[in-house]
Amino acid sequence: MEKKNPHEPDSFDTPLSPAEVLQDRPAARFQDFHLGPGARIVSETIPGERSKELLDIQRSLEGSIVSYPREMPMAVKRARGAIVEDVDGNRFIDFFSGAGVLNVGHCNDYVLKYVKRQQEDLIHMLDFPTVNKIELIQKILHQLPAELRSEFKVSFCGPTGSDAVEAAIKLAKHKTGREGVIAFHGSYHGMTSGALSATSLVKLREKLRSNMPNVSFVPYSYCYRCPFKKTADNCQLDCAEYLRYVLENPHSGMAKPAAILLEPIQGEGGTVIPKEGFLEKIVNIARENDIVVIFDEIQCGFFRTGDFWAFRESNVFPDIITMSKGLGGIGFPISAIIYNKQVESWGAGDHIGTFRGNQVSIAAGNGAFDFVREYNVAEHTREMGAYMLSRLHELLAFSPAVGDIRGKGLFIGVEYVKDKKSKAPDPAIVRTIRKMCFAKGLVFEIGGHYNNVVRFLPPLIVNRELIDNALAIFEEVNRTVTNGIAYTE
C-alpha cells in the first residue's frame, strides 16, 4: 500500500457537495475574497490623470513590446479577487485574470498564507527535493485516475508556459529521434522559438528567419468555421481524418513527426471547443502512427473548465501535458510537464533551468490546490460557467452582431460577425465593445482567428453578483454599439 504523505489532502476524488460547503463555509460564495462587488469609475476620464502620468513614464522608459496598456490604459495600484483598482481610485471587474493566470483571484489571502510561510524558510533551491515540492507533485499526479498515477511523472520547467512547451517538444524529439511537430490552425503555445514556431498566427513570426523547422499545421475542430464546410448533421470529424491523410499518404510531403501538439480547448484562437470525439480520434491516429501526443493545458487547465484538465471529459490521455498559468494560483510563475514514463528517454541534465520549480511558486500552487478543494471551486466553476453562458445567451442571442457563444466552465468566448449568414468576422465592433466596456469598468481580452472574439476568463471565485454587474455593462455597451441594427427574434 502506498504510504500517504501527511501533508496530502484526504482525497481530490470526493469533494464536498455545494450544500456542505455553503453550510459550513459561508465564504464559499467568495464575497470576502473580492475588493468589492462591482465596477466603480470616479475619475472624469479613463485613464485618469495619475494613470496618464504613469503611462507616459512607462512609454518613455519601458520597451515598445508593452501591449496590454495600449488597449486597456490604466496604472494599477492594487487588486483583490476579481476587482482591480487603479491609481486614480477607479475599480474594474477583471474578466481577464492576467491571461488566465489568476484562477483563484488576485491576492487570495488563503494562498498568501502559504506564500508568506514559505518565504520565511526557503525561496530558491534549484531542483533539490523539498517537502513543499513533493506535495505539489503528489497533488498533480492525484488528478490522474488511480490506475494511471504510477505511470506518470512530473518535471518542473522554467517559469513560463513557453518553457513547458519547449521541454515537451524536446522530450518528444529525444524519445522518437525525429524532428517534426504537427500543430493546429488557431493554436497558441508561447513566444520562445519552438513554442512560437508551433503557434499558427503568422504575424507573430513574419520578420523572423530562424524559427524551429519542420512544423506543419492542420485544421482544428472549429465547428463554427469548419474548413470542410460541414455542419453538425453531416460532420464526420473530417478535420481529424485530414490529419490521418497527411500522416499516412506517402505523397503528402510530410515526414513522420516526433509530436502532435494541441490545446484541448483553444484559448487565444477564440475559445474554440472541439467537437466531441475529436481529441479521441487525434490521439488514436497518433498511436497508430507511433507519434507522441502533447496536450497544452497551460490556459485551459487548473480547473478553468471545471475539471483540473480540460481533456478529462474525453476518453483518452496524452503522452505529455504542459501546465503553467493557473498552477501558480495567484500569479506566481511556474510551469511543469506531466508525462508518461514510457516517453522518458532523457537523463540527468538533459534539460535544465535555473528557475525551474521556485519554492515560493510551488507553495502558491499547493495553497491554490488546497483552496480549490476546501471551497469546492471546481463545482463552483461549473455552476458559474453555466450561469454566465445562460445569461449571455439571454442577452445576446438575438443580436445581429453575435455569431456564436461558446464556453466550458469559466472559459467563454463570444464571436462577432458582420452578418450571421456569411459569418464575415467583425474585429472592429469587438475593439469598440472592449474600449467602451473598459471605460465603464469591465476588463477582458479579445482573440480568435480574426480578433473578433470577446474572451471571458474571470477568476474562478467570481460569484453571481459580479457576473451580473459585469454583464450589465456588457449588455449596455452591446445595445449601444448595435443601436440601429435590427435585433432578430
pLDDT for 390-442, tens place per residue? 999 998 888 999 999 999 999 999 999 999 999 999 999 999 999 999 999 99
Helices (H), 353-407: 359-374, 377-396
As a whole number of angstroms, the distance between CA 338 and CA 142 comes to: 12
pLDDT at 396: 83
Q: Look-up: residue for cell 469559466?
A: 410
pLDDT at 118: 98
pLDDT at 398: 80
Q: How distant is the alpha carbon of residue 124 from its chain centre?
A: 27
From the list 374, 378, 355, 367, the residue with the least C-alpha distance to 301 is: 378
Q: Determine how β-strand 320-323 pairs with β-strand 336-340.
A: antiparallel
- What is the model's pTM? 0.92
- Ramachandran assignment for 406, one of left (phi > 0), alpha (psi -120 to 50 degrees), beta (any other): beta
The secondary element (H helix, E strand) that includes residue 471 is: helix 464-481
pLDDT at 10: 39
Average pLDDT, the chain: 92
Sign of CA dihedral 427, 432, 437, 438: positive
pLDDT at residue 21 above 90? Answer: no
pLDDT at 232: 81
Chain segment 336-389, per-residue pLDDT in tens = 999 999 999 999 998 998 999 899 999 999 999 999 999 999 999 999 999 999
pLDDT at residue 131 above 50? Answer: yes
Per 3-state DSSP, what percentage of the chain is helix, strand, and coil (rounded to 5)? 40, 15, 45
Higher pLDDT, 208 or 54: 54
Angle made by CA atoms 152, 154, 155, in degrees to the nearest 5? 140
As a whole number of angstroms, the distance between CA 288 and CA 291 comes to: 8
Cβ atoms within 10 Å, residue 451: 17
pLDDT at residue 19 above 50? Answer: no
Q: Given pLDDT bands bounded at 50, 70 and 90, which one contains residue 210?
A: confident
pLDDT at 125: 94
Cβ atoms within 10 Å, residue 7: 13
pLDDT at 207: 87
Chain segment 293-338, per-residue pLDDT in tens = 999 999 999 999 999 999 999 989 999 999 999 999 999 999 999 9
DSSP 8-state symbol, 376? T
**Percentage, residues of the chain above pLDDT 90:** 88
pLDDT at residue 2 above 50? Answer: no
Identity at 141, one-letter amino acid code: L
pLDDT at 485: 63
pLDDT at 25: 46
As a whole number of angstroms, the distance between CA 255 and CA 251 comes to: 10
pLDDT at residue 11 above 70? Answer: no
Average pLDDT over residues 99-122: 97
Please count the helices (runs of H) and the strands (runs of E) in the chain. 14, 15
Burial of 293 (0-12, 13-18, 19+ CB in 10 A): buried
Chain segment 46-67, per-residue pLDDT in tens = 999 999 999 999 999 999 999 9
pLDDT at 27: 38
* Contact between 271 and 406 (Cβ < 8 Å): yes
3-state secondary structure of 233: coil
End-to-end CA distance of the chain: 61
Q: Given pLDDT bands bounded at 50, 70 and 90, which one contains residue 23?
A: very low
pLDDT at 484: 59
- For 342, the grid coordinates are 514510457
- For 4, the grid coordinates are 500517504
Which of 393-397, 457-461, 466-470 is predicted least confidently? 393-397
* Contact between 303 and 372 (Cβ < 8 Å): yes
**Domains of the chain in sequence order:** 31-95+377-484 (3.90.1150.10), 110-375 (3.40.640.10)
Average pLDDT over residues 97-110: 97
pLDDT at residue 481 above 50? Answer: yes
pLDDT at 12: 38
Chain segment 184-203, per-residue pLDDT in tens = 999 999 999 999 999 999 99
Q: Determine how β-strand 336-340 pairs with β-strand 402-408.
A: unpaired
pLDDT at residue 17 above 80? Answer: no
pLDDT at 209: 82
Average pLDDT over residues 255-268: 97
